Amino acid sequence: MVALNSSLESSQRFKDDWNRYKTAKSAVKDESVKREIDSLLSSLLAEVKKIDQHHNDLLQSKLLPTGIEETRQRITEIRKKLDELIKK
């Protein structure tokens, strides 16, 4: 279990996934697919940062942040797209 003061972005799982996607991208020959992977990686990082901010807000205010479930869903969708692209 990840400690509450740890960020998702700095978690080992995220770092491993990030490195896996970057490594897989380097093997892709199609430049348009590489650009799509870059775009998805940027989106993934932005969504992960939103989750981290939601967690920080929760810790500071003791209120449940809104929109966290939608952000988690977007992260899942982005990862699925990345997985599909790197398998091509």
Range of the domain at 64: 31-86
Domain contains 53 = yes
- pTM for this predicted structure: 0.75
Structural domain includes residue 60: yes
How far is 74 from 27, CA to CA, in rounded Å? 25
Total count of domains within the chain: 1
Residue 55 and residue 17: Cα distance in Å, rounded? 21
**Is 18 a domain residue?**
no
Contact 9/48 with Cβ under 8 angstroms? yes
Let me know if residue 40 belongs to a domain. yes
Higher pLDDT, residue 4 or 15? 15
Distance (Å, rounded) from C-alpha 5 to C-alpha 64? 16
Could you give the percent of the chain with pLDDT greater than 70?
A: 88
63 falls within a domain: yes
Residue 21 domain flag: no
Q: Examine residue 71 and state whether it is found in any structural domain, yes or no.
A: yes
For residue 45, what are its two tokens?
A: 């990082």
What confidence tens digit (pLDDT) does each residue in 19-28 have? 999 999 999 9
Q: What is the pLDDT of residue 64?
A: 63
Q: Is residue 72 part of a domain?
A: yes
Torsion from C-alpha of 79, 80, 83, 85, nearest 10 degrees: -110
